[in-house]
Structure 1
Amino acid sequence: MKIQTSVPTGKVARASQFMKAGVKVGGNYIKHYSKKLMDPSLSKDELHKDNAADIYDALSELKGSALKMAQMLSMDRGLLPVAYSDKFTMAQYSAPPLSGPLVVKTFKTYFGKTPAQLFDKFSIEAVNAASIGQVHQAWKDGRKLAVKVQYPGVADAVSSDLKIAKPLAVRLLNLNERDIDRYMGEVESKLLEETDYELELKRSIEISEACAHISGLVFPKYYPELSSKRILTMDWLDGLHLKEFMKTNPSQDVRDQIGQALWDFYDFQIHTLRQVHADPHPGNFLMRANGTMGVIDFGCVKVIPDFYYDNYFRLVNPDTLDDAALTEEIFENLEFITDEDSPKERQFFSDLFKDMTRMLAEPFAVDSFDFGDDAYFNKVYAFAEGLANVQELKNSKVARGSQDGLYVNRTYYGLYAMLNELKARIVTTKPEWLRSAKEVA
Structure 2
Amino acid sequence: MKTQTSIPTSKVARAGQFVKAGVKVGGNYLKHYSKKLVNPELSKEDLHKDNAADIYDALSELKGSALKMAQMLSMDRGLLPTAYSQKFAMSQYSAPPLSGPLVVKTFRTYFGKSPGELFDRFDIKASNAASIGQVHEAWKDGKRLAVKVQYPGVADSVSSDLRIAKPLAVRLLNLNEKDIDRYMGEVESKLLEETDYSLELKRSMEISAACAHIPDLVFAGYYPELSAKRILTMDWVEGLHLKDFLLTNPSQDVRDRIGQALWDFYDFQIHTLRQVHADPHPGNFLMRQDGTMGIIDFGCVKVIPESYYDNYFRLINPDTLKNNALTEQIFDKLEYLLPSDTPKERAFFSDVFRQMIVMLGEPFAVDVFDFGNDAYFEKVYAFADNLSKMDELRSANGARGSQDGLYINRTYYGLYAILNELKANVRTTRPDWLRPEA
Which residue does the alignment assign to 2:309? 309
SS of the residue 2:318 aligns to: coil
Deviations 1:200-226 (A, max 9, x none): 000000000000000000000000000
2-side partners of 1:300 and 1:290: how far apart?
Answer: 28
- For the pair 1:262 / 2:257, whether they are aligned, the reply is no
Deviations 1:366-424 (A, max 9, x none): 10100000000111111122222122111111111111110000000000000000000
Deviations 1:134-154 (A, max 9, x none): 000000000000000000000
- Shift of residue 257, structure 1, vs aligned partner: 0.3
Mapping 1:34-433, distance limit 5 Å? 34-433=34-433
- Shift of residue 37, structure 1, vs aligned partner: 1.4
What amino acid is the match of 1:345?
E
What amino acid is the match of 1:173?
L
- Shift of residue 4, structure 1, vs aligned partner: 0.3
More moved, 397-406 vs 149-158: 397-406
2-side partners of 1:385 and 1:199: how far apart?
Answer: 38
SS of the residue 2:148 aligns to: strand
2-side partners of 1:120 and 1:236: how far apart?
Answer: 15
2-side partners of 1:389 and 1:199: how far apart?
Answer: 41
> What are structure 2's unaligned runs of at least 5 residues?
none
What amino acid is the match of 1:84?
Y
2-side partners of 1:232 and 1:342: how far apart?
Answer: 52
- Shift of residue 115, structure 1, vs aligned partner: 0.2
- Shift of residue 54, structure 1, vs aligned partner: 0.3
Deviations 1:30-67 (A, max 9, x none): 11111111122111111111000000000000000000
- Shift of residue 299, structure 1, vs aligned partner: 0.0
SS of the residue 1:113 aligns to: coil
1-side partners of 2:80 and 2:235: how far apart?
Answer: 36
What amino acid is the match of 2:398?
V
> What are structure 1's unaligned runs of at least 5 residues?
none
Deviations 1:263-291 (A, max 9, x none): 00000000000000000000000000100
What amino acid is the match of 1:27?
G
What amino acid is the match of 1:412?
Y
What amino acid is the match of 2:262?
L
1-side partners of 2:183 and 2:2: how far apart?
Answer: 34
More moved, 252-261 vs 30-39: 30-39
SS of the residue 1:152 aligns to: coil
What amino acid is the match of 2:136?
H
SS of the residue 1:329 aligns to: helix
What amino acid is the match of 1:422?
L
SS of the residue 1:319 aligns to: helix
- For the aligned residues, what is the CA RMSD? 0.5
What amino acid is the match of 2:57?
D
SS of the residue 2:147 aligns to: strand
What amino acid is the match of 1:74?
S
Moved over 3 A (4+): none
Q: Could you state the TM-score of these two structures normalised by the residue count of structure 2?
A: 1.00
Deviations 1:245-269 (A, max 9, x none): 0000000000000000000000000
Q: How many residues align?
A: 438
SS of the residue 1:437 aligns to: coil
- Shift of residue 327, structure 1, vs aligned partner: 0.6
SS of the residue 2:396 aligns to: coil
Which residue does the alignment assign to 1:30? 30
Q: Could you state the TM-score of these two structures normalised by the residue count of structure 1?
A: 0.99
1-side partners of 2:391 and 2:208: how far apart?
Answer: 44
Q: Identity, % of aligned pairs?
A: 79
1-side partners of 2:152 and 2:146: how far apart?
Answer: 19
1-side partners of 2:40 and 2:266: how far apart?
Answer: 48
- Shift of residue 339, structure 1, vs aligned partner: 1.2
What amino acid is the match of 1:103?
V
2-side partners of 1:79 and 1:228: how far apart?
Answer: 37
What amino acid is the match of 2:75?
M
2-side partners of 1:280 and 1:212: how far apart?
Answer: 18
1-side partners of 2:223 and 2:239: how far apart?
Answer: 21
- Shift of residue 358, structure 1, vs aligned partner: 0.2
2-side partners of 1:241 and 1:118: how far apart?
Answer: 29
What amino acid is the match of 1:149?
V
2-side partners of 1:216 and 1:383: how far apart?
Answer: 35
- Shift of residue 120, structure 1, vs aligned partner: 0.2
More moved, 243-252 vs 384-393: 384-393
- Shift of residue 2, structure 1, vs aligned partner: 1.3
What amino acid is the match of 2:256?
D
Deviations 1:316-340 (A, max 9, x none): 0011111100110011111111110
2-side partners of 1:8 and 1:86: how far apart?
Answer: 25
